[in-house]
Amino acid sequence: MAPTDSDFATLRRLAEDRWTCRQFRPEPVERATIERLLGLAQRTPSWCNTQPWQVVVTEGEGTERFRKELLTYIQSHGTAPDFEFPAEYAGVYKERRRTCGFQLYDSLGIVKGDHEKTMRQMVRNFEFFDAPHVAIVTSEADLGVYGAIDCGLWLENFLLGAQALGLGAAPQAALASYAPFLHEYFGLPEHRKVVFGVSFGHPDLDHSVNSFRTARAPLDDQVTWHTA
């Protein structure tokens, strides 16, 4: 089928409307719907068609037990991601990160300096924002950074697919920060490296934390044209 302007418009709308859900309703997503979503993400392109992503998906009691045991683990263990986290956020990257953080805290009525409530919101990452499902995505160690990049492409398709299905999703590097626990809990071999997690389910659209949207920089800030 030849591409059309309406195809582009649909993709543009999904990309513009997509947002990170930070509060979910408790009811699970039907397995058939999750499989549709995963099937779409499986169409992701990858280097030499290696398809490096492997995905663990929780549901039902599997999610509840995972949530409980992860919360217990983080209380007595430090972070240890398989992939190095950013060394720092400086300049415009720091500004964008701070703006997003202020939007989040403002939506919840958390004032600057309220360390107790700020910490409580941080812990919400490890409660999966009450989502009924979590996906843990890993890549093959030998594929290095390019395997992780391919997993990032998988994530974009997953997020847009969730948006198209009326679902909410929260991509979470925070879950990858406790990689040793994930390896042991899910029986992941050492040659599989945890890239990120995604909490997903039906969004609670009445919750204030889901009311804000982040902005994107103009193209002139991001693109350099060479014409000669």
Q: pLDDT tens, 158-201?
A: 999 999 999 999 999 999 999 999 999 999 999 999 999 999 99
- Helical segments of the chain, H only: 5-17, 31-41, 61-74, 91-108, 115-123, 144-164, 173-176, 179-186, 219-222
- What is the pLDDT, as a whole number, of residue 4? 77
Average pLDDT over residues 69-89: 97
Task: Please state the pTM of the whole predicted model.
Answer: 0.95
Q: From the centroid of its chain, how far is CA 226? A: 34
pLDDT of residue 3: 75
How are beta strands 133-140 and 54-57 bridged, if at all? antiparallel
